[in-house]
């Protein structure tokens, strides 16, 4: 049984490659106080700066699933952007395997479905200049930050480690998740419609796709709209879950009469 919580919902947020959980800290101001935003911090950055960076998908997922098991209290959802979406998906499977109640919903943003990911594209070592050029092409990072040598000296080792995590990923055949899966994409992102649509095979529940103006980091400009949609989908799932539990309880009562 999950411990009780003063919040009606916890929203665990997984960062994209090279980022820390800090980017989600302001989200709490965007939602009602009965929704708790929980930024998920990976080793080697943010408040976990002194820890060793993970370099393969398995070690990251084991670490994060262990952290979430201690944090989960009542209904919760998982959200991730780019690499964060892949981590949220794998953590959901790890939690299910460990008999932790599954999330109310899973949200995958700006990320190809696991079966259509090109992991090899992350395998080659890149110079600092090449990594900075990629960050520039993706958008979402200001020119001032990209030109800040001190900031880049902290960011690029994290990004390299995250690329190794991406390169290590291989999809594993498993039963689909039972929770609803909601997919978000940027209209100008290179992640194509078919790569997002393939997420539908990862759940036995409903799967939706919503599009936003912008490129890979559309979530920055669409923050308010995105969060509103997340909460609305989560509330719909909660209502559906409670309705099913109520019907099951009524059926059980009738069976005992």
Q: Is 241 exposed, middle or buried (0-12, 13-18, 19+ CB in 10 A)?
A: middle
Strands 105-109 and 207-212: unpaired
| Residue showing tokens 């940027």 | 186
Structure-block tokens of residue 256: 């005992």
> Whole-angstrom distance between the N-terminal and C-terminal Cα of the chain?
27
Please name the helix (run of DSSP H) or strand (run of DSSP E) that holds residue 37, with its range, or none: strand 35-39
Gap between the Cα atoms of 52 and 120, Å rounded: 24
Q: Which residues are catalytic?
A: 82
Gap between the Cα atoms of 150 and 138, Å rounded: 21
Helices (H), the chain: 57-71, 83-97, 128-138, 143-146, 149-168, 193-197, 218-221, 223-256
DSSP string, 154-209: HHHHHHHHHHHHHHH------PPBSS-EEEEEETTSSS-HHHHHGGGGGBSS-EEE
Structure-block tokens of residue 190: 């290179």
Do the Cβ atoms of 216 and 187 come closer than 8 Å? no
């Amino acid at each position: 049984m999950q411990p009780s919580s003063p919040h009606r919902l916890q929203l665990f947020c997984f960062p994209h490659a090279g980022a820390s959980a800090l980017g989600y800290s302001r989200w709490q101001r965007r939602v009602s106080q009965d929704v708790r935003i929980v930024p998920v911090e990976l080793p080697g950055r943010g408040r976990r700066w002194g820890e060793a960076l993970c370099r393969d998908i398995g070690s990251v997922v084991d670490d994060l699933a262990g952290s979430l098991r201690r944090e989960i209290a009542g209904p919760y959802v998982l959200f991730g952007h780019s690499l964060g979406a892949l981590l949220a998906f794998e953590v959901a499977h790890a939690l299910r395997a460990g008999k932790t109640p599954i999330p109310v919903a899973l949200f995958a943003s700006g990320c190809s479905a696991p079966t259509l990911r090109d992991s090899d594209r992350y395998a080659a070592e890149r110079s600092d200049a090449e990594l900075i050029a990629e960050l520039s092409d993706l958008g979402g990072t200001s020119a001032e930050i990209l030109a800040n040598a001190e900031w880049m000296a902290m960011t690029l080792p994290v990004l390299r480690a995250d690329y190794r995590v991406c390169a290590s990923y291989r999809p594993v055949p498993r039963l689909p998740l039972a929770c609803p899966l909601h997919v978000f994409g940027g209209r100008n992102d290179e992640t194509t419609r078919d790569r997002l649509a393939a997420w539908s095979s990862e759940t036995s529940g409903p799967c939706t796709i919503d599009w936003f103006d912008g490129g890979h980091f559309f979530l920055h400009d669409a923050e308010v709209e995105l969060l509103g949609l997340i909460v609305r989908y989560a509330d719909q799932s909660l209502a559906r879950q409670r309705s099913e539990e109520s019907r099951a309880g009524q059926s059980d009562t009738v069976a005992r009469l």
